[in-house]
Structure 1
Amino acid sequence: MKLLKSSLLGTAAAFASVAGAHAADLPVKKAVPIEYVRVCSAYGAGFFYIPGTDTCIRLSGRARLDIGYQPTDSRSGSGNGDTTGYIGLARINVDARTQTAYGTLRAFTRIQFASRTGATGGLRSGTQERIGSAFGATGQDQVGRDQQFVNTDKAFIQFAGLTAGRASSFFDFYAHDFEFAGATLNSDVQSTNLLAYSAKFGEGFSATVSLEDPTFRRNTVYSQTFGAAGVTGAPSPVLIGVGATNTFSNYDVSQRNRMPDFVGVLRYDAAWGSAQISAAVKEINVQNPVGSTFGIASVPGLGGAAVTGAPASEYGWAVQGGVKINTPFIAPGDTLYLQGAYGEGATLYTGYSSYNGSYTSIASTINGAAFDPFMSDATLNPLTGKIETSTSFTVVGSFLHYWSPEWRSAVFGSYGELSFARGARAANAAAFQTTGATGQFTGVPGQTSFDVSPVLRDTYQIVAGASLIWSPVKDLDIGVEGFYTKVGVQNGRVVDRTQSSGTVNAANIASGAVRTVTADDTYQVRMRVQRDF
């Protein structure tokens, strides 16, 4: 028995040793190491390391609904009649940063999508449609009142003081920081393409030099002949002399990219707030006439001479100063902005524009308005062929107050004026009278119809508004904003196109058939629900 037990144990030991030897010859599969996502605390909350790299990334975004109401004075035309509008907006942000021997290397992108309906001021963007970021719908009930919006809002790289890509203009300061609709008059280009260098010196001081894409700061050069095949001036015994006939060629006033806008900024940041001085210079150019000559030989009292070829370029410029003051002694988070700007040939730098949209000679600020203001950077004088710049200035103030951590309000207001070159109206009216692409000049200087024409009139704007926002939880805003806008002519009166009929002359004005106004105004109320993440 003992012999049998010993034999069995020995056999089992032999099998075990053989099996172990074979197992040692087989490959061993190791578990794949798990790459856990690690939190990156170097750049603030929300950053994490991209697995396998030393780059930190943060993903964020926004969802928003805006509903707006603005009254209208007219229902004629595809863009008039709507009193309500809607915006559904989505935003996606990607922020990637890597620490290098030269400092932080950063790449930031922001893509926005929106669906906008209704022609109510500011809810459908003429600006975005004109640069191809918003696409209008067609159809009897949609044309001019429905937009799909896709925009590369930001895409820039920052490294060792260099900023390159699509970013906010360095010229801007307040930039509608406390507003829903961006109604006030102040510089705020959503984004532009730029190449800039910033340097810090002293305690809190920095300076920036930026070369910026002129496309997004270029307002129009107004020309009465633009779009016409050719215009022949009719004889006028008052201005030209009996029997005098003057021929004008169509002139291409669309501008070309020949040099960037040059922007310089000096900024100071401290615990109490910040201050900034900005300056910009831009080229204003037009193209050749579609014909051999432009201008006329002579007009008594106005001058003029035959012109061939393209006029020499002019240069617009603007300066802006602003201050941001933190006022925690009133309540934590309270902030005051004050800003002013002045420019020649640079309306989009001073911010004298319309919240409905820019890049057009006539920018309607009021839906179905009595008249629309002209907002060109310059005019092309039909008698001399010279580019003549307009002058504009704006001032704006805005104050944000926290009633409690969950409730805050903002109040804001602005005032601005725009003036065209001396004699610009008279030169265009004398040359073209009732003709031209706009068809808005009637008569010649000295006639009643000319006196009440809105074309190239010097104007002013007043904006005042306030908002109230409730944030029941972090990153959720539910608020309402209301503002008042008034647009008027600096001198004289203009025809009220919503209340007039018949020929524009002294008799019809006296009878009331043709009515005139000095200003028009409106208001808008907008509700917003917004979640940031």
Structure 2
Amino acid sequence: MRLVKSLLLGSAAGLTVVAGAQAADLPVKKAAPVEYVRICSAYGAGFFYIPGTDTCLRVGGRARFEATYVQPLIRGDTTGYRGLGRLNLDARTQTGYGTLRAFVRFELASRTGGFLKSGTQERIANAFAATGVDTSARVQQYVNVDKAFIQFAGLTAGRAASFFDFYAHDFEINAVSLGSDVSSTNLLAYTATFGEGFSATISMEDPNFRKNPIFGNISAALTSTTAAALPVVSNLAPILTPGQGLGFANLDVIQRSRMPDFVGALRYDAAWGSAQISAAVHEVNTGNFVTTGPLNGNAVVRARTPSEYGWAVQGGLKVNLPFIAAGDALYLQGAYGEGTTVYTGIPAYNGTYTLTGSATAGIFNQYYADAVVDPVTGRLNLSNSWTVVASYLHYWTPEWRSAFFGSYGEISYSQRARFNSALLNVGGLPNPVTAPGGLAALAFSPVLRDSNQIVAGGSLIWSPVKDLDIGVEGLYVRQALNNGRIIDPNKGVAVNLATATPAQIAAAPKLNSQDTFQVRMRVQRDF
């Protein structure tokens, strides 16, 4: 028995020695060192190094809920809702030329209700609408590459906020006051810094996000009697055969992208606040005349409306007011432009990229055309517009704050171009020569009237913890004519100005202005 036990122990020991010898001959594979995420403190809080690189990255975003109540009804709705998500990616690398930065922001939203659904965003392809019987014009999905730009050695290239803008509705829960705020456009810009806090920027920007429609799609034939009321000067070479009438070819007024907008800005930043002066040049153009055959048996008219160059200037001032309360600040801004309504921001509340807009369910339509085609001269007559805005942010306590803002703007048109358009019944204007109401019919028409608008409001926001806002905002809007009145379509029997008699026009109810109010609330978390 002892012999067997000795043999077994000896065999086990021998096997152990052999196994150890064989293991010693095998290569040893060392575990790869773990590369932990390192904090990058060079660019502020939240940045970390992308593993294996010297690039710092910050990931951030936003979640938001909104609800609104509006009076009077918008498309029959009084309430609307919106849920929004945002994702930010900010990558920075230090180079011998300074910081190389790439920034990307995506926004996704679901909007419902006749007001929070945004026609503006559909018109620039940032949103798509529902088509159901009960959801059409009331439900909308919003998808937007809000930012995607590169910054390097003073160069900014990509999709970014326009360098023309200054205040850009910074203190408002929703961007509602008048004034320019194109937060997403395609551009190539260079910024130079000099002195103590001064910077100057020259920017070449996408014109498509600064175009409002042109008024004047011409399609008409006048009698020789009416034609006698027209001025003799005309570069359209209209064809007039006695007894047959005056003919014009259709005019394609859809603007083309022929040249970029050029923007320049001079800015100063200091501890007390900042100031900026900016200017822009914007081409306003049309397509060719569309002709399908001879007019009145004569040769076809082939003429092209020459382009005009609109321009805008803006001045802005921001003053920090820490002596009132920490975080308090005041913005003041004013803008003036010709043929540049999106630069002055006169249509900012009612909807950009559309010829008309109304804050009162279509009762009072305000016109926002960049230009009017005079059908007699064939030239573009640029509209004039201007806006002013003031906005004040006040902290009652570190957790409670309010914003108070007010804005006013006016837009006006060439009255000669309006009268000539009426002679050809362009755009629904009643002909003062052939209409039974005569000049009165034109005087009470809402089309191309000089008008003004007030947008004012205030908010109260509670931030119980950092980066969480719970707030409510009230808003008042008033649209009005600069002078005169229009027929009120909301009272009495509808009046057709093209056929109404002077007595019918005189008896019809009229108005000079309309106003509305709304209340919005928001819950928002930034991270």
Q: TM-score, normalised by structure 1?
A: 0.89
SS in 2 for 1:342: strand
1:447 aligns with 2:450: no
Tell me whether 1:485 sits opposite 2:477 in the alignment. Answer: yes
One-letter code aligned to 1:25? D
Asked if 2 retains the 8 angstrom alpha-carbon contact of 1:370 and 1:495, the reply is no
Counterpart position of 1:303 = none
Residue 338 (structure 1) aligned with residue 337 (structure 2): no
Q: Deviations over 1:488-525 (max 9, x none)?
A: 111211121222424444312443xx221111111111
Whether 1:325 aligns to 2:319 is yes
The one of 451, 473, 476 equivalent to 1:459 is: 451
Please tell me whether residue 145 in structure 1 is matched to residue 138 in structure 2. Answer: yes
The offset of 1:354, in angstroms, is 3.8
Are positions 1:127 and 2:120 aligned together? yes
Match of 2:154 among 157, 161, 166: 161
Q: How do residues 246-265 of structure 1 correspond to structure 2 at under 5 angstroms?
A: 246-265=246-265
RMSD over aligned Cα, in angstroms? 2.6
User: For residues 64-213 of structure 1, what are the structure 2 equivalents within 5 Å?
Assistant: 64-72=64-72, 80-120=75-115, 123-213=116-206
C-alpha separation in 2, matches of 1:236 and 1:125? 46
Between Structure 1 and Structure 2, how many residues are aligned? 503
Alpha-carbon spacing, 1:456–1:7, altered in 2? closer, same or farther (3 Å): closer
Aligned to 2:62: 62
Please say which of residues 257-266 and 30-39 is displaced more in the overlay: 30-39
1:28 deviates by: 1.1
- From the superposition, tell whether residues 447 and 466 of structure 1 become closer, same or farther in structure 2 (CA, over 3 Å): same
Contact 2:360/2:515, CA 8 A, preserved across alignment: no
CA distance in 2, matches of 1:200, 1:385: 45
* Distance in 1 (alpha carbons) for counterparts of 2:473 and 2:406: 13
SS for the counterpart of 2:99 is strand
Which deviates the most, 84-93 or 273-282? Answer: 84-93
Does 1:368 find its partner at 2:348? no
Structure 1 residue runs of 5 or longer lacking an equivalent are: 1-5, 74-78, 297-305
Check 1:295–1:389 CA distance in 2 against 1; reply closer, same or farther (3 A cut): farther
Partner Cα separation in structure 2 for residue 11 and residue 397 of structure 1:
96
1:224 shift after superposition: 4.0
SS at match of 1:405: coil
Structure 1 residues 52, 237: closer, same or farther in 2, change over 3 A?
A: closer
2-structure distance, mates of 1:293, 1:316: 34
Give % identity.
60
Report the equivalent of 1:3: none
In structure 2, C-alpha distance between the alignment counterparts of 1:60 and 1:428, rounded to whole Å: 53
* Counterpart residue number, 2:24: 24
SS at match of 2:71: coil
Q: In structure 2, what is the Cα distance between the partners aligned to 1:269 and 1:294? A: 63
Aligned position for 2:401: 408
Code of the aligned partner of 1:457? R
Kept after mapping to 2: 8 A contact 1:292/1:308? no
Establish whether residue 419 from structure 1 lines up as the match of residue 408 from structure 2: no
Q: Which residue does 2:220 correspond to in 1?
A: 231
Counterpart amino acid of 1:288?
N
* Cα distance per residue 1:65-86 (max 9 Å; x no partner): 111111126xxxxx62111111
> In 2 relative to 1, CA 294–156 (structure 1 residues): closer, same or farther, beyond 3 Å?
farther
Question: 1:8 and 1:480, CA in 2 relative to 1: closer, same or farther beyond 3 A?
Answer: closer
Q: Structure 1 residue 388: deviation in Å?
A: 1.0
State the AA in 2 paired with 1:474. Answer: K
In structure 2, distance between residues paired with 1:502 and 1:531: 51
How far residue 13 of structure 1 moved from its aligned partner, in angstroms, is 8.6
What is aligned with 2:36? 36
Asked if the contact 1:320–1:342 (Cα under 8 Å) also holds between the matched residues in 2, the reply is yes
Describe the shift of the 1:510–1:167 C-alpha distance in structure 2 as closer, same or farther (beyond 3 A). Answer: same
Asked if the contact 2:217–2:252 (Cα under 8 Å) also holds between the matched residues in 1, the reply is no
Look up the SS of the partner of 1:24 in the other structure. helix
Contact 1:307 1:384 survives alignment (8 Å) = no
Matched residue SS, 1:83: strand
- Name the counterpart of 2:512: 518
Given residue 482 of structure 1, which amino acid in structure 2 is its aligned partner? G
Q: Using the alignment, how far apart are the partners of 1:224 and 1:7 within structure 2?
A: 111
Identify the residue that residue 76 of structure 1 maps to in structure 2: none
Q: Structure 1 residues 283, 149: closer, same or farther in 2, change over 3 A?
A: same
Residue 504 of structure 2 is aligned to residue 508 of structure 1: yes
CA distance in 1, matches of 2:352, 2:454: 18
1:448-506 CA-to-partner distances (Å, cap 9, x unmatched) read: 11110011111111111100000011111000001111111112111212224244443
Task: Determine if contact 2:224/2:245 at 8 Å carries over to the other structure.
Answer: yes
* 2:391 corresponds to 1:390: no
> Is there any run of 5+ residues in structure 2 with no aligned partner, and where?
1-5, 231-241
